[in-house]
Structure 1
Amino acid sequence: MTIFSEVLIFAAFWLFAVLSTLFYMHMFQLNSYRADDQWHWMLKNRGKVVPLALPLIGAIVGVICGKNAGMIVCAVFILLACLFYKPKKAKKPLKYTPRVKRMLVTVAVLYAAMTVLLAVLAPGRITALVVGLVAAASPLVIILANIINKPIELSINRYYTNDAKKMLAACPNLTVIGVTGSYGKTSVKFYLNTLLKAKYNVLMTPESYNTPMGVVKTVRGSLRATHEIFICEMGAKYVGDIKELCDIVHPKHGIITSIGPQHLESFKSLQNVINTKFELADALPKDGMLFLNGDNEYIAERAPDGAITYGLNSDSKYKAKLISVGDKGTTFEVTTPDGETEEFTTKLIGTHNCLNILGAIAVSHELGISLAELRPQVRRLESVPHRLELSKRVGMTLIDDSYNSNPSGTKAALETLSFFEGEKILVTPGMVELGDKQEEYNCEFGRNAAAVCDYVALVGERQTKSIYKGLVEAGFDESHIFVSPALGDALAKVGAIRTDKKKIVLLENDLPDNY
């Protein structure tokens, strides 16, 4: 009986170790491998950590029950906890990167060492107690493995970063353009890439690569001696993040697309956001050009002399006017600082797209491409994936704006939705990472949605209460509000709506698995 109970409890322990490790490693990856973000996530999502109480309960009950019975009881509780950590389909599955593989090896060594120590040092009736306690501490094992591996990771990152710097230094004629902003930076990067290709051989960071190692990976894997321009997207969640990227790529020119209340949970204040975005401006050489969105109040207040501004409503150097927006596209006229004008047409919809395209036009024009040469390039512009990307479905037009969401972005998305004829339906889990302002901004989102939408499908009850409140405050029909636990359920309810009109569905944000 003793051998059976010992085998059972250690088998349960290892099964739980594997399942919980993969789960918490996934969350750790989504939290950017930052221990502080992981702690914050655990405190904010206690429901996903509650299953850890089962091994603790098993440990306590096991001690009471005695040696053999105690180990069996503890094993049963641990196996029950395994049910909560069994693999599920994820929106963004765990990527088995070299870093993750190294961490998993370290975790395995730690668990193997603990198993040996438990077998040798915790015999008898306290086996259940110690095994249960160790199992309940599985999230800490991930963090401990990260601490152990940190010197190795820093050394590897340093090697790759230095290698990327050498490759950039070996291209003295390469012009690096840094692109940052609270929102709009990925879109501007893609638009700028298309426009500059009218004259130059261009490399850009792909997709949403905007971290140091993402930039380093792009340089080491894609930079060629024939490239003339490198467009580098720069993301930030903490003060100093933009400076770190600038120290790697040394941009000659830079563009700040926007500043707003994004990532306030990590930045702590809007002033920190402003200071961080302007780290790009501080890094430019004297002969470099700084392009700024003149319509953004935070940027306009901080704009240095000599900056090249662009905007729709401001007294900017590059202006867009006579804007005409419809469900087929947008037409607008651009005026340059020297008074030259040209009309542009794009299949992209909305004034926000007009503003982002204008920023790309300003940079391209200052780099020697005429407005006439830019016209066909603007016509070729495509939607950036999951950023107000249009697709046709049977009886439905889907506006996919699911990449992320912010206060300014929700207004732009609702404006885009308003240009369409049909039954306007919003599907959203709301906005996150807005700190103390999150409830206020989501409530405002609800009020704004009430003025445009016919139906609203909210994804997740906890995070969408503020949106629901805003909708009701604006007099929205509560019978046209659906609250669903998951996106699939929300879309099923949207599909079940009976209407003679064509459905226009705006998918605004899609939160990752750690929400």
Structure 2
Amino acid sequence: MEYLSIVTKIVLVMSLGWYLITNLQWYNYKLGRVIFKHHKWQWHITFFLSPIVLFYLIPSPYFEIYFFVIYLVSFILWNKKLDRQLVLTSRVKRFLAILLLIVFVQISVCLDDSFCTDVSLFFTILVALILSNSLEKLFFLIYKNRAKNKLALNQNLKIVAITASYGKTSIKNFLYHVLKNRFKTYKTPRSVNTIAGLVLDVNKDLPSDTQIYIAEAGARVKGDIKTIANFLEPQIAIIGSVGEQHIEYFKSLENIKNTKKELLLSSKLQKAFVHNSASATLNEKIEEFPNNLHIVKSDLSGLWFDMELNGQIEHFYAPILGSFNAINLAAVVLTANYLGMSVLEINEAFTTLPQVEHRLQKIEANGKIIIDDSFNGNLEGMLEAVNICSSYIGRKVIITPGLVESTDSANILLAKQIDKVFDFVIITGSLNANILKANIDEEKVFVLKDKTMLETTLARTTRNGDLILFANDAPNFI
């Protein structure tokens, strides 16, 4: 029985550590966000607090029965159902290894003293977290210094840093497609936009002969973008549309604007193109955009727009969905032109622009038209997606969790527009379910609580000829 108790304690602590590091990975390793900003706080009670409390309340062997039969089984099933499971990065492996080592040491020291074991057992998680964070900070400083030196060695390198409340990934991808025809260009992969991600990208993947490095800069708190600006020291900065995205972290729109404008603090800044929503102070280096932007046409075939460039009105077309993308493309035009590309070269590149995955990406499959806008989580973009779909003649279906990290009023506005356009509405998750249901005809609405059933639900509720819009997506921890 003693051996069973020891094994139980080891597996229990490692399970709690696994739960903790999973949540930390979701929330960029910010413990405060895991504790105070978690969207499914009930999970903390079920998978972290309850087993600790019951460990002291239920005597052996009844606790072991509870742990292995009830808790561990439910914990494994919970992990399997997650659509964003723990990624075993080097950081995660180091944390788990440190935790396991401390558990063994602690149990060995307290082998003949069960009271010592029981009292100090759960402190091992805290100690492991402190040691792990200290080690990661040390590694980060080493990696950051190495990355800084690598950037300095390439004297011909120009860095373009992009930030915005929304649209920065689209700007990055569009700009890369245009510039790669003229320059040796590299862009950050996926949505890498934190200082840690950028340091890793520079060290691991940035080719040494790159001429143009295009990087995103994201933020959750004041100072995040300033840190990135000090690290990259971009010569060119782009600040796209600024709005109330992540308002719960910044508390006010003014705080969001000021944080985005930290990108202008780069010591090597030569030129910045700043959207008028950022309210920047203009000078010879900082230019506001767009100038005389006119959207000629936007439908399921693409986007036509005019804009002023060098005192003249120029015409552009791109096979990209969404009128809001005219703003993103305007930033691309200005940057490419500043780097020496002509309007003709830019237009030629635009005609072959690939659709951005999961951002108003049009797909035709099995007799249905699918508009994948699952990576778009801002109000303006989602309303535009709804508007584009409104021109489709046929049955229209939308799958959405609503707006995440936004206001109730924004979700109400979105719901009312959805109600006008769509024939069937599938609401994923419980975060905004009540708000959306209250503002959409209840006969159209189906609430999908388990996202693993989405494919089955679509097969049952959609048919040939339907247009299906995936509007935003949220992992099931939200």
Instruction: Please report the TM-score for the alignment, with normalisation by the length of structure 1.
Output: 0.85
Q: Distance in 2 between matches of 1:281 and 1:366?
A: 17
Determine the structure 2 residue equivalent to 1:393: 365
Deviation at 1:368, TM superposition (A): 1.2
Determine the structure 1 residue equivalent to 2:19: 23
Deviation at 1:390, TM superposition (A): 1.9
Q: Distance in 1 between matches of 2:127 and 2:305?
A: 56
Q: Which amino acid aligns with 2:359?
A: R
Tell me the SS of whatever aligns to 2:222.
coil
Determine the structure 2 residue equivalent to 1:506: 469
Q: Distance in 2 between matches of 1:27 and 1:141?
A: 18
Q: Distance in 2 between matches of 1:403 and 1:326?
A: 20
Determine the structure 1 residue equivalent to 2:92: 100
Out of 11, 14, 19, the position equivalent to 2:10 is 14
Q: Distance in 1 between matches of 2:54 and 2:297?
A: 65
Deviation at 1:85, TM superposition (A): 1.0
Q: Where do residues 10-409 of structure 1 align in structure 2 (5 Å cutoff)?
A: 10-41=6-37, 44-51=40-47, 52-54=49-51, 56-57=53-54, 59-62=56-59, 71-79=60-68, 80-86=70-76, 87-117=79-109, 119-122=111-114, 130=118, 134=121, 137=122, 142-283=125-266, 285=268, 288-294=270-276, 296=277, 299=278, 301-306=279-284, 307-311=286-290, 316=291, 319-341=292-314, 343-409=315-381
Distance 1:425 1:143, change over 3 A: farther
Task: Tell me if the contact between 2:317 and 2:351 (Cα under 8 Å) persists in the aligned partners.
Answer: yes
Cα deviation digits, residues 430-451 of structure 1 (max 9, x gap): 22223xx3x2322222112112
Deviation at 1:424, TM superposition (A): 1.5
Task: Tell me if the contact between 1:181 and 1:258 (Cα under 8 Å) persists in the aligned partners.
Answer: yes
Deviation at 1:91, TM superposition (A): 2.1
Tell me the SS of whatever aligns to 2:392.
coil
Q: Distance in 2 between matches of 1:228 and 1:42?
A: 41
Q: What is the RMSD computed on CA atoms of the aligned residues?
A: 2.4
Q: Distance in 2 between matches of 1:107 and 1:421?
A: 58
Moved more, 374-383 or 34-43: 34-43
Deviation at 1:238, TM superposition (A): 0.8
Task: Tell me if the contact between 2:230 and 2:267 (Cα under 8 Å) persists in the aligned partners.
Answer: no
Q: Distance in 2 between matches of 1:141 and 1:90?
A: 26
Out of 407, 426, 437, the position equivalent to 1:457 is 426
Task: Tell me if the contact between 1:400 and 1:508 (Cα under 8 Å) persists in the aligned partners.
Answer: yes
Instruction: Please report the TM-score for the alignment, with normalisation by the length of structure 2.
Output: 0.92
Cα deviation digits, residues 16-70 of structure 1 (max 9, x gap): 33333323321111111111112125585124532442453353242xxxxxxxx
Q: Distance in 2 between matches of 1:248 and 1:142?
A: 33
Q: Which amino acid aligns with 1:15?
A: V
Q: Distance in 2 between matches of 1:392 and 1:18?
A: 46
Q: Which amino acid aligns with 1:346?
A: A
Q: Distance in 1 between matches of 2:183 and 2:110?
A: 64
Q: Which runs of 5+ in 2 are unaligned?
A: none
Tell me the SS of whatever aligns to 1:156.
helix
Q: Distance in 2 between matches of 1:150 and 1:58?
A: 27
State percent identity of aligned pairs: 26
Q: Which amino acid aligns with 1:101?
A: K
Deviation at 1:285, TM superposition (A): 4.2
Cα deviation digits, residues 301-358 of structure 1 (max 9, x gap): 33423432333xxxx2xx43252122122222333132152x3222111201222112
Q: Distance in 1 between matches of 2:394 and 2:274?
A: 37
Q: Distance in 1 between matches of 2:295 and 2:470?
A: 29
Tell me the SS of whatever aligns to 2:321.
coil
Task: Tell me if the contact between 1:54 and 1:77 (Cα under 8 Å) persists in the aligned partners.
Answer: no
Distance 1:276 1:142, change over 3 A: farther
User: Aligned pair count?
Assistant: 473
- The higher radius of gyration belongs to 1
Q: Which amino acid aligns with 1:484?
A: L
Deviation at 1:277, TM superposition (A): 0.2
Task: Tell me if the contact between 2:358 and 2:374 (Cα under 8 Å) persists in the aligned partners.
Answer: yes
Q: Which amino acid aligns with 2:275?
A: N
Q: Distance in 1 between matches of 2:317 and 2:453?
A: 38
